[in-house]
Amino acid sequence: MYRIIGGDQKEYGPVSAEQMRQWSAEGRAGAQTKAQAEGSADWRPLSAFPEFNDAMAVQAGAPAAFITFQAEGARSAALQQVKAPATWLMVVGILGVVMSVLGLVIHVLATAGFEFLSPAHVPDPQIQALLNALGGTIGIISDFLGIGVSSIVILGAVKMKRLQNHQFAVVVSILAMLPCFSPCCLIGLPAGIWALVVLNRPEVKSQFS
């Protein structure tokens, strides 16, 4: 989201990048228009924002071929930036699926009465059986939840790699960081932080469809 200082010295916004391009096309914002990105305290000329280079080029009457080339370059750069964190998120999701499937097998066996799979051995057979049943049932539910969350992380990583659905990619990055939901928190936390940092870069965010 962005704000601008109009020709009347009044502040307008916040508006999306798409709306800002529309304002540029309508002549309401130009290369020297002071603009501020959300989360920043600095006011800079609109021409200083890489995500609006195409709009500035159109306003200046640049050739269509140049504009297309510039847009392709911006997308290529964004794809390169999201490649590594998206791959890491995908690894987190795959590890989560593997770990949850293994846990599911163990808990199913525990439910079937394999006492050696219980977290602790209790002399009383009835209490031991109850612990097996509870541990197995709760564990199975937890494992299915883990498989579901991990699958969502994988899907989000794939979309991030293709610059699709920015909001979904952000949600998946946060999921990977949460200890209760992360499929593999040891690597999920740094992967999620890295992904969020990259996703919040204006030049990357503007390239998502």
Query: What is the band of 132 on the pLDDT scale with cuts at 50, 70, 90?
Result: low
Give 160 or 137, the one with higher predicted confidence: 160
With 50 as the cut, is the pLDDT of residue 165 above it?
Answer: yes
- Rounded to two decimals, the pTM is 0.57
Question: What's the count of helices (H) and strands (E) in the chain, helices before strands?
Answer: 7, 4
In this prediction, residue 117 carries a pLDDT of 45
**pLDDT tens by residue, 26-72:** 677 777 788 888 888 888 887 778 777 766 655 555 454 444 544 56
Q: Could you give the CA distance from residue 97 to residue 87 in angstroms, rounded to a whole number?
A: 15
Instruction: Tell me, rounded to whole angstroms, the distance of Cα 34 from its chain centroid.
Output: 30
Neighbours of 190 (CB within 10 A): 14
**pLDDT tens by residue, 186-200:** 778 888 899 999 998
Sorted by sequence, the CB contacts under 8 Å of residue 25 that are 6+ apart come out as 55, 58, 59
Q: Which residues of 47-72 are buried (b: 16+ CB within 10 A; e: fewer)?
A: bebebbbbbbbebeeeeeeebeebee
Mean model confidence pLDDT for the chain: 77
With 50 as the cut, is the pLDDT of residue 171 above it?
Answer: yes
**pLDDT tens by residue, 76-117:** 888 889 999 999 999 988 988 888 888 888 777 766 766 544
Q: Where are the domains of the chain?
A: 2-62, 78-205
